[in-house]
Chain A
C-alpha cells in the first residue's frame, strides 16, 4: 500500500486490530521460544539447595564424563573469561554463576551443555556441591537490623546518582534508603485531632509469563548475537558489552514477539550466561527455563508498609509518615528504583502538608525481586488505601467523601513538591462512584452470605529521565517502515506506534511495517517498562514521522512543485530519481525533562513527565462459613489521556486488573527455609477463566495529557492500583473484618471472621 491509496482519516483514536493478529491466531507468531540454531547446545542449570552459604566445592566430574555432555561450567570457569562477572542495572552484584557464596535456594551454580537437552538435564543430576551454611535472613524488616549480611560490600553500578553514596558500604542489607521530608510531620502529629497508625504487608509473587524466560547466543567473528525474550534489548547490549569489555557494536540483540513479560524479562536474566557460554564453547547455545525455574529467577517484592496519619476534626489529613520495606531478595535487580520511584508516592494521591517517607530496598536470602506491573505501586496503594478506609470508617465519613476532601487538586503539589497536572484523580473517583451507584443503598445480604463493596484509587509517576529514539523510513514507493526498540509483549505497542506514524504521514496504519527490536538495526530505547512507551517512544516516533514528512515537503519544494501539492511520496521520488528509487529517513528522539530530588529532602518540582491515575470498585459476596469471596462486579477506571486505540486500551485495563486480582486473592510463593515449595502451576494458581468477576467494566476517564503525543499517556499498569484495597474494603464492609496482609484467601477471611467472633 502506498500513497496512491486515498488518505484515511483519524488513524489515532481508531480501534485498529493488532497488526500481528493473523500471526498470533495461526500459531505462527515468532517467539524466541521457537528459535533453533544450527549446531546449538542446550543448557541446563544446577541450582543451590541452600539459602545462604559459602561454596566449599563443586563436583562436576560425573556429569562431565556422561556420554553426550559437551561441557560443564561453574562460576570459576566464567571468571576465566570475564574477570569481574557481576551484572545488574542498579548494583553490579549478581554473578553470571554463583561465585564464593550462594545467596538463595535456586541460585544458578553450574551448567551442563549438551546437544540433547534431555542429556543435559540428566547430567545436572550428577553434579554435587558442598556449602558451609550461613545464617539466612528472609524477612525484609528483620534484614534491616540483622547481623546476617547477604552481600559483603555494596557495589552500585554507577548509573543512578542516588545510589552512589552506597558505594563500598559494608555490614548492611539496605540497598537503598530513600527519604523524603516535607513540612514538619512531628508537629502535625502533635497538633492532630486524630492519629491513625497501621501496618500492611504483601507477599512475594511471580510474573509467570507463559513463554518462560529464554535466551540464545551465537558467536560470530569478533561478535556475538543474542536472541532473547527481553523487554530491554538496548540495556542487554550495553551490559553484555560492558561485561566483555567490547564496544557496543560487537553485540547484537534481537527480540521477536514476547509471550508475556510483565517486568520479568527486563535487564539481564539469562543473557549474560548464554553470552559467556557461547564464547567459551564457540557454538550457539540455548537456555529456556521451565515454569518452575522462573520462580528462582525474578519475582515481585514482598513488602511491609507502616503508615501513620494525622487527621483534623474536619477530616483533612495534615500529616503522614510512611515507612516502606521492599524485600529485594538476594540480588538488587531494579529493586532500588522500585523503592525510590514508588517510595515518593507512598503518601498517596492526597494533598498532605507534612510528609515523611523512608523507603527501603532490602537484601534477603530469597529469589531476587524486580519490576512487576506497577513497579511497587500496587504494594503501596494496598496499604495507603486500606489505611484511608480505616480512617474514614473510624471518623464515620463516607469513604468517597473522605477521599474527595483530601485528593490533590489540579496544580497542587504532590509529596515531592511536583505539581500534579493533567491527572484526573477526581474524575476517576467520580466515575467509580457513579458506576457503583455509591449514593444508593446497598443490600449487604443476610445469614451466611454477606455482601460488601469497596473502592480505591492510586497514583503513579512515570520514568524519567529516559531516552527513546525512533526511525521512520519512507521507501521509493511511498510505503513506510518504523524502526524502534520498544518490545511488543502483548500490550499492542507495535499497533499504537504504527498509528502514530500513519496519522502523521496521512497513510493507513495497516500499511506501516514495524521492525522488531534488533540493536544492529533499531535505535536505542531505555526499555519497555513502567507504562513509558506510549509517552516516551510515542513522542520519538511522532518526531521521526514529522521529520520524514518535513523532508518530503522539502523534496516537493526542491522539485519546484507548488505549496500544498497533492503529489504523494511515490511521485516525488519518481520525479527526483526518474524511477522507483531512493528513500527518506526521519529520525526522532525524546527525553523528558526531569529534576533529580534533593538527596536530603527528596523534594523536586519536576519528578515525572506525567501521572497515571487508576482506580477500582468492587461488589463482593462472602460465604461466612468458608471465607470464600466471590467478586460479583468489578469497575475499573483510569486516566490515560486520550486513548490511541480504545479497544487495546480497554483490554490493557481489564488485563491489569485481573492480573492484580490473582495477586490479591490467591497467588503467593510459599517458602520452606528459603525453598519455594509451590513453584508450579499445580500449586501456584494464577487467575483462570472462572476467576473473572461476573461483571467487569472498564472506563477510560475523559482527559487529555496535553504534553503527550496526541494527548496520550501510558496505561499498562494503571488498573492494577486499586484492586487489592478495594476488595479488602469490601470484605470489611461485608463481614466486619479487616485483613492487612495479602493474599485475601478464603482461609485468611475465614480465620479473621472466626477471630472476630471469638472477640465479641
Chain B
C-alpha cells in the first residue's frame, strides 16, 4: 500500500518535533505516537469533541485533521495545561464542581472552556451552552459543566490572569 509518507515538523506543546507521517494518518493517531492520549477519537465524525486539539490557537477536531496538515504549525493538547505541574483554573473548577463522570469527553470540554473564557471572561449561561454545543457527554454531566465554567471564570477573574496556556 502506498502510504505517501513525508516528514513534517511542528511544535507540540511548546516543543519542536519532527515526524514521518503517512498521508492518511489523522492528528489523533499522530498524537498517540507521542503517548498523548488526552485527545481521543470517539464518533470519528468531528461531532462529539472528544478529539479536540488546539491548532495555531484554534480548536479543531483531531479526528478530521490530517496529520500532514500540521506541518509548520503549533499543536497544543490538554496535556499542555498542567505542564508546570499545576492544574489550570478550569481543571481545578471541573474537579471542584464534579463536572465529569467517566472523563472520556472531559479534555475536550476543558479545552473548549479555555477557548470560551479567552473570548468571554464572564460568560452568560447561553454563551456557555452555545460554545460547548459541539462537545457531547454521554454521562450528561452538563449542568455541572456549566457550573464549572462559571467557577473557572470566577477563579481567573479573582487571580487577575488570563485563561490558561491553551
Contacts and interface: CB of A to CB of B under 8 A. Distances in A.
B62 interface: no
A31 B101 CA distance: 14
Given A20-B103, A654-B140, A654-B143, A25 B96 contact: no
A208 interface: yes
A490 B102 contact: yes
B81 A26 contact: yes
B59 to A, nearest CB: 15
Interface stretch (A380-388, A451-459, A613-621, A679-687): A679-687
B1 A26 contact: no
A464 to B, nearest CB: 27
Interface stretch (B44-52, B66-74, B155-163): B44-52
B94 A25 contact: yes
Given A24-B103, A68-B1, A259-B102, A659 B145 contact: no
A620 to B, nearest CB: 18
B133 A262 contact: no
Interface string A687-706: 11110100010000000000
Interface string A257-279: 11111100000000000000000
A22 B135 CA distance: 20
Nearest to B111: A27
A28 interface: yes
Contacts of A661: 140
Contacts of A492: 101
Contacts of B146: 689
A651 interface: yes
A636 to B, nearest CB: 11
Interface stretch (A209-217, A347-355, A534-542): A209-217
Given A655-B140, A687-B140, A689-B135, A291 B42 contact: yes
Contact of B110 (A25, A207, A259): A25
Given A257-B103, A490-B101, A655-B101, A27 B136 contact: no
A608 interface: no
Contact of B42 (A22, A211, A688): A211
A654 B101 CA distance: 12
Interface string A457-496: 0000000000000000000000000000000011110000
Contacts of A258: 102
B79 interface: yes
B39 A27 contact: yes
Interface size class of B (residues with CB under 8 A): 35 or more
A689 B77 contact: no
Interface SS of B by simple majority: loop
Interface string B122-138: 00000011001101111
A33 interface: yes
A681 B47 contact: yes
A23 B110 CA distance: 13
B69 to A, nearest CB: 17
B101 A651 contact: yes
B126 to A, nearest CB: 10
Contact of A689 (B40, B101, B145): B145
Nearest to A119: B1
A163 B59 CA distance: 53
A31 B38 CA distance: 10
B141 to A, nearest CB: 6
A34 B37 contact: yes
Interface string A1-45: 000000000000001011011111111110101101000000000
A648 interface: yes
A681 B95 contact: no
B143 A210 contact: no
A155 to B, nearest CB: 34
Interface in A195-235: 207-212
Interface string A654-689: 110011010000000000000000001110001111
Nearest to B79: A27
Contacts of B94: 21, 25
A66 B2 CA distance: 12
B54 interface: no
Nearest to A692: B142
A673 to B, nearest CB: 24
Contact of A260 (B45, B139, B145): B139
A729 B79 CA distance: 47
Contact of B138 (A20, A68, A262, A491): A262
A26 B111 CA distance: 10
B140 A489 contact: no
Given A68-B1, A291-B42, A210 B98 contact: no
A481 B24 CA distance: 45
A290 interface: yes
Nearest to B97: A647
B117 interface: no
Contact of B95 (A21, A210, A211, A257): A21
Q: Which 8 A-B pairs have the closest CB atoms?
A: A27-B38, A259-B104, A490-B102, A24-B103, A490-B101, A658-B140, A27-B78, A27-B107
19 contacts: A20-B103, A25-B100, A26-B79, A26-B81, A28-B79, A33-B104, A210-B43, A211-B42, A260-B102, A260-B104, A260-B139, A489-B102, A647-B98, A654-B141, A659-B138, A682-B45, A689-B137, A689-B145, A692-B143
Interface of B: 1, 22, 24, 32, 36-40, 42-45, 47-48, 50, 77-79, 81-82, 87, 91, 94-96, 98, 100-107, 110, 128-129, 132-133, 135-146
Interface of A: 15, 17-18, 20-29, 31, 33-34, 36, 66-68, 116, 118-119, 122, 207-212, 257-262, 290-292, 489-492, 647-648, 651, 654-655, 658-659, 661, 680-682, 686-690, 692, 696
Given A27-B37, A119-B1, 9 more contacts: A25-B103, A31-B37, A34-B37, A259-B102, A292-B44, A491-B101, A654-B141, A686-B138, A687-B140
